Amino acid sequence: MTDLTAASGTWAIDPSHTTIGFTVRHAMIAKVRGTFGEFAGAFTIDGSNLAASSAEVTIQAASIDTKSADRDAHLTSPEFLDAATFPTLTFTSTGVKASGNDVVVTGDLTIHGVTRSVDVNYEFIGLSQDPWGNQRIGFEGTTKISRKDFDLTWNAALETGGVLVGDEITLLLDVEAVKQA
């Protein structure tokens, strides 16, 4: 079981050392990878009672980056994220528990105005102190979601069969945070 006693406290996500990314199948043969560049979040760890821990993250939908300006414009359009109407994606935890050496954070994920419960499995990487005296913590997390569950249904049929954009999205979270209290 993961021992997070030394990690107890409130932590602010450090955006310059955190990646919130995703992969999705493209044209049935490859994966498109992307990240979100603007987000903020914090979490509180109660190492003696993990169930009392909590987390919140807000992501700016328009900050999506797949290394293609045309694709990013399409992803922020009404056919996908509709960033003008739904400017943020949010996650608010509803439960935290240990699972072997991992931590499972269950929460409400809201994308495109639709909220669904998801489990994010995190590996606790460790604690460290930076050269300026700040205590830092690291976690790596993943979860898989269905685009359809969030009313993200745009697609195009391929002549060879299948569709242009896969339904399953893998969310990848490489989180570094700084202790606040």
Which stretches of the chain are DSSP H helices?
69-75
Answer for the pair 53, 45: CB distance below 8 angstroms, yes or no. yes
Answer for the pair 55, 93: CB distance below 8 angstroms, yes or no. yes
Instruction: List the one residue out of 13, 11, 4, 12 whose CA is nearest residue 46.
Output: 4
> Which residue ranges make up each domain of the chain?
5-179
10 Å CB burial of residue 105 (0-12, 13-18, 19+) is buried
Supply the DSSP string of 23-42, one letter for each residue.
EEEETTTEEEEEEES-EEEE
Mean pLDDT of 109-127: 96
* pLDDT at residue 42 is higher than 70: yes
Tokens 């169930």, residue located? 51
Bridge partners of 42? 12, 56
Homologous superfamily (CATH) of 5-179 is Lipid/polyisoprenoid-binding, YceI-like (2.40.128.110)
10 Å CB burial of residue 159 (0-12, 13-18, 19+) is exposed
The predicted pLDDT at position 165 comes to 82
pTM for this one? 0.92
Tokens 């499972």, residue located? 104
The predicted pLDDT at position 2 comes to 65
Model confidence at 166, pLDDT cuts 50, 70, 90, reads confident
* pLDDT at residue 52 is higher than 70: yes
